[in-house]
Amino acid sequence: MPELIPKQERGGSALPNTLFYLSIFLFLASLISFFVFNALLKNNQEDLAVLELSLSESKTAEKVALEKNILTVQRKIEDFAKLSQSHLTPSSLFQKLEENCHPKVSFNQFSLDSKSGKLVLVGKTQSFEALGQQILILKETDFVKDLILEKASISKEGQVEFSLSLTINPKAILVNE
């Protein structure tokens, strides 16, 4: 029978069908990749656990004790290095005194407190003039901060006996060696 109302033919676009099939494909691909990656993750976690177990088993008690011993020795070496760097050696003071000693002055007692930097020198000379020159020489040096003549007297032999108290500049004389 002929139709009274003619229907238009559907000649629509293929775009909706393509998008539908593409979305189904992407959904299935993501679902499959989820399960694949999940399985790979489990395998890698198992491998990691096996490796950690074998690593912990390879550390014997002897190796652990050796590591502790090495760390202890390393700590001692570092402590010794710190101590040796902070150790002050006043031996260069003798050389400085020898260089700055008046030819007519002789020292017969020497007392040094390296912590406070106090040096006491007791000596003899032929005259007060030589003693004054010695005091001036020592005051002009870089290793003497302060100088005090504590005692001066004339001995039975006619020599001048004296006692000097010096404050040493630690930066100039007490150097690390």
The CATH number of the domain where 130 resides is what? 3.30.1360.100
Q: How far apart are CA 116 and CA 144, in angstroms?
A: 13
Which pLDDT does position 88 carry in this prediction?
63
Q: 108 and 146: one domain? A: yes
Total structural domains in the chain?
Answer: 2
Q: In this predicted structure, which of 7-16, 35-44, 111-120 has the lowest mean pLDDT?
A: 7-16
Mean pLDDT of all residues in 100-127: 89
Look at residues 47, 64, 85 and tell me which one is the last residue of a structural domain.
85
Phi, psi for 109 (deg, rounded to 5): -140, 145
Q: Which domain holds residue 51?
A: 29-85
- pLDDT of 41 strictly over 90: yes
- pLDDT for the residue numbered 3: 66
Are 56 and 126 within one domain?
no
Q: How deeply is 120 buried, as exposed, middle or buried, from its count of CB atoms within 10 A (0-12, 13-18, 19+)?
A: middle
Q: Work out the angle at residue 86's Cα, subtended by the Cα atoms of residues 138 and 113, and round it to the nearest 5 degrees.
A: 40
- Residue 10 falls within a domain, yes or no? no
User: Are 104 and 167 within one domain?
Assistant: yes
Query: Which segment, 5-9, 81-85, 122-126, is predicted with the most confidence on average?
Result: 122-126
For residue 23, is it within any domain?
Answer: no
